């Protein structure tokens, strides 16, 4: 049995869960999420808990069991607390300006790079440190995708570390070219 799949997901106060067939809709204080799950997984609501039941022990059903439970837990966490990723822009002249749903970045190219966020994602620049970008939203998957897309515009390079990186990411640095001097005079 899947240890993750067997755990029930608690439904906190203020969260409404609607189940219709394989589609689940979760409403909370931060917003609303809807997702369609695999037809083999049965989702049950009892006493403010969600449980996922699998029909058999086939390989696919075992894989889907824990996945479905974690996706449900992430949806509930998303509508109650939300998710966020912090990114750092490092480099001389590298900067960004963010509005609620659009970010314009100067990354050393001949043109500014603009990125328009999907409807449920918000951008914020840190007031104290101008090079910290916060990406927040309800859907954990969408927040991660947007962060990865922004990072792909200018990934950090290993020599000076310039580029866009996650706040907790460690960049393995390489040594530059060594200067060799020949004989003396």
Global pTM reads 0.85
Is residue 183 scored above 80 in pLDDT?
no
Is residue 54 scored above 60 in pLDDT?
yes
Architecture of domain 3-80: Alpha-Beta Complex (3.90)
Q: Helices 59-80 and 140-153, interaxial angle, to 10°?
A: 90
Residue 120: phi and psi, rounded to 5, are: -95, 5
Alpha helices in the chain (DSSP H): 3-6, 59-80, 140-153
User: How far is it, in rounded angstroms, from Cα 114 to Cα 130?
Assistant: 17
Is residue 142 scored above 90 in pLDDT?
yes
Q: How far is CA 116 from the centre of its chain?
A: 16
Considering all CA atoms of the chain, what is the largest pairwise distance in Å, rounded to the nearest integer?
Answer: 87
The token pair at 164 is 């866009």
Q: Place 3 in a pLDDT band, splitting at 50, 70 and 90.
A: confident
Domain residue extents for the chain: 3-80, 83-166
pLDDT of 22? 87
**Residue range 74-97, pLDDT digits in tens:** 999 999 999 999 999 999 989 999
CA end-to-end span of the chain, whole Å?
Answer: 76
Asked if residue 27 lies in contact with residue 15, where contact means CB atoms within 8 angstroms, the answer is yes
Q: Specify whether domain 83-166 bears CATH 3.40.50.1000.
A: no
**Residue range 95-129, pLDDT digits in tens:** 999 888 899 999 999 999 999 999 889 999 988 78
Bridge-based pairing state of the strands 95-98 and 9-10 = unpaired
Is residue 158 scored above 80 in pLDDT?
yes
CA distances from 80 to 4, 60, 70, 89, 121 (A): 21, 30, 15, 29, 15
Q: No. of H helices and E strands in the chain?
A: 3, 13
Q: How far is CA 183 from the centre of its chain?
A: 56
Residue 16: phi and psi, rounded to 5, are: -110, 130
């Amino acid at each position: 049995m899947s240890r993750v799949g067997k755990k029930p997901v608690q439904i906190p106060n203020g969260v409404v869960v609607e189940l219709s067939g394989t589609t689940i809709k979760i409403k909370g204080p931060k917003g609303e999420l809807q997702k369609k799950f695999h037809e083999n997984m049965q989702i049950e609501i009892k006493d403010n808990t969600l449980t996922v039941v699998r029909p058999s022990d086939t390989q696919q059903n075992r894989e889907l069991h824990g996945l479905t439970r974690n996706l449900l837990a992430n949806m509930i966490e998303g509508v109650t607390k939300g998710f966020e990723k912090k990114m750092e822009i490092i480099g001389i002249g590298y900067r960004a300006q963010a509005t609620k749903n659009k970010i314009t970045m100067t990354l050393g190219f001949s043109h500014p790079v603009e990125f328009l966020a999907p409807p449920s994602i918000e951008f914020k620049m840190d007031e104290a440190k101008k090079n910290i970008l916060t990406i927040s939203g309800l859907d954990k998957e969408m927040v991660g995708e947007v962060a990865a897309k922004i990072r792909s515009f200018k990934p950090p390079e290993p020599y000076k570390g310039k580029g866009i990186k996650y706040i907790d990411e460690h960049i393995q640095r390489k040594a530059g070219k060594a200067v060799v001097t020949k004989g003396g005079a």
